[in-house]
Amino acid sequence: MPTVSTRWIEVDGVVNMRELGGLPLSNGGRVPRGVLIRSDNLQDLGASARARLRVEYAVSDVVDLRSSLERKMEGPAPWEREGVIRHHYLSLVAGDVPVGDEAVLGLSWRRPETRRDADFWGAHYLGYLDDRPDSVSAALRAILTARGATVVHCAAGKDRTGVVIAMALDLAGVPREEIVADYLLTAERLDAILQRLEPRPAYGPALAEQPPGSQVPRAAAIESILQAVDDQWGGASGWLREVAGWPTQDISDLRNRLSGRGISGQDDR
């Protein structure tokens, strides 16, 4: 059975944060704790939560996958104002809109006429790799170079975060059924996620126009991107090599970091 629900991180200000450490690897090992965390947005992260994440989980880096306009509308998060955590702003929106242009947010859910079934989300997820391979690559490199744990987040922690996390876990050697099970865990917190997003100007008006169930994570959506990456490049490692241009050593180092085997030159990072 997939390893699922013991990895929630319960801290004030987020509702969809979980540790990826503990997931099994195909070779019999496990993803180490204190390396990779996924989350919804960090705008409301309280002081005690920030302190706990830095001490207990050794968080050193945040990968923010939101668009420049989302960040403009939401304003700086507490860790951004403090300047104690290294932030990587890596929008997955193709041709990211200029800051201040509120006519188009650049999110898929701004198009309420589109039917959001598994086929829609699968195609949308592949679009992240096609349109913003630079950001996906940079997100994975941030995980590689972090001194501690990296928190990867977007708005809900489901779609953009789900793709980057799936690529990382595939590279680490986590079995596909475990990657899918982790992706589906967001369904347990979906109501709480929507309650956080609906009052926010960046998300609420568009969410209000969507039919019930449009944001429910579906296994076929994340399975489709994993299968496509496997078919076209032989997995995330092939994508990093052929599309992102990573050297073999860097790919090996990231795999080792995500599987707990250590990386070359780690003491110098």
Which strand (E) or helix (H) includes residue 150?
A: strand 149-153
| 30 CB-near residues (< 8 Å, 6+ apart) | 21, 22, 23, 24, 260
- Determine whether 154 is an active site residue: yes
Q: Closest Cα partner for 65 from 154, 140, 183?
A: 154
CA dihedral 260, 151, 49, 45 (to 10 degrees): -170
H helices of the chain, in order, are 47-56, 68-74, 78-82, 118-131, 133-145, 160-172, 176-184, 190-197, 204-208, 219-233, 236-242, 248-259
Q: Which of 154, 156, 163, 169 is catalytic?
A: 154
Q: Helix 248-259 and helix 160-172: axis angle, to 10°?
A: 90
Q: How far apart are CA 199 and CA 205, in angstroms?
A: 9
Q: How far apart are CA 32 and CA 136, in angstroms?
A: 22
Phi-psi region of 229 (alpha: psi -120 to 50; beta: other; left: phi over 0): alpha
Residues annotated catalytic, as ranges:
154
